[in-house]
Amino acid sequence: MAEETTRGKGEELRGAEKVFGYFRDQVLSGALSPGDRLPSERELSLTLGVGRPLLREVMRSLNMLGVLDIRHGKGAFIARANFGMLSDFFTFYLAQEQSALDDVMQARIAIECQAIRLACERATDADISRIETCFTQLTETVDDPELGGRSDYEFHIAIVEASHSQTLITLYHAISNMLLKSHVERRRTTANAPEIIESHIDSHRQVFLAIVEGDGDLAHQRLREHFAIGDELRRRSIIAAHTKGSASTYSTDKYK
């Protein structure tokens, strides 16, 4: 009985993989594009050689993931990419890994360093204006970790989107939840330190000006320096906080 149950589950898994593989391959080959209506359940069931209950279950799951768009009474359609859904999936997956945030930061650096080179070549006037607006918002929210962190995030995502590379943009959006969390946490860590805030703003300004100049090498160099400055400022802030805490504890204990 247990063997039959195991065999049944294995067949269901293979059937589900076949259905998923079909949609993936159809989209990759260009046979199906976002907005295209799918064949009926009966046709798909016959084409794939799977039962309609299993097909319906897999399609329902793909609908929840944003891959398909099932409209009652109208049929099923290939959906357009849902960045929010993709980001939620990656956040859930990466949150289970202990070193996830460090890995995400390394991925962020890799994406942004390539994106900024492309932005220097491809950025439109609208892109430059958007980055400038984000920079202005960044300078106006330096005293608010929550708003400041979001402004910081918006500045960097504006650079990535100015690259007009759909792959880089998609990958960046996929890790956006964790990036936003990182920006806010870093702002909280470096709050109430004027010298850190000043360096932080100037670093962003230099990155922005390099993009305006359209110099990919210079922009890449300044972005790398920006990341290095951010890491150093965060390190110094953590040390200062712990040093202050230790001094306060010592002072209190001394008079006990």
The answer to whether position 153 is within a domain reads: yes
Long-range contacts of 228-236 (CB under 8 A, 24+ apart): 229/199, 229/200, 229/203, 230/186, 230/200, 230/203, 233/190, 233/196, 233/199, 233/200, 234/186, 234/189, 234/190, 236/196
- Residues 106 and 167 placed together within one structural domain of the fold: yes
Mean pLDDT of the residues in the chain: 82
At residue 39, what is the residue type? P
Same domain, 143 and 220: yes
51-73: per-residue pLDDT in tens? 999 999 999 988 887 888 999 88
Does residue 102 share a domain with residue 221? yes
In this structure, the answer to whether residues 29 and 98 fall within a common structural domain is no
Q: Which of 71-80, 188-197, 203-212 shows the lowest per-residue confidence on average (mean pLDDT)? A: 188-197
Residues 190, 94 share a domain: yes
Its domain, for residue 26, covers 12-79
Into how many domains does the chain fold?
2
pLDDT tens digits, one per residue of 221-239 = 999 999 887 666 556 555 6
Determine, yes or no, domain membership for 245. Answer: no
Whether residue 2 is predicted with pLDDT greater than 70 in this model: the reply is no
Instruction: Tell me, yes or no, whether 4 lies in a domain.
Output: no
Digit-coded pLDDT (tens) for 11-37? 777 888 999 899 889 988 989 898 999
Based on the fold, state whether residues 96 and 39 are members of the same structural domain: no
Same domain, 47 and 152: no
Do residues 212 and 86 both lie within one domain? yes
- Count of CB atoms situated within 10 Å of the CB of 161: 20
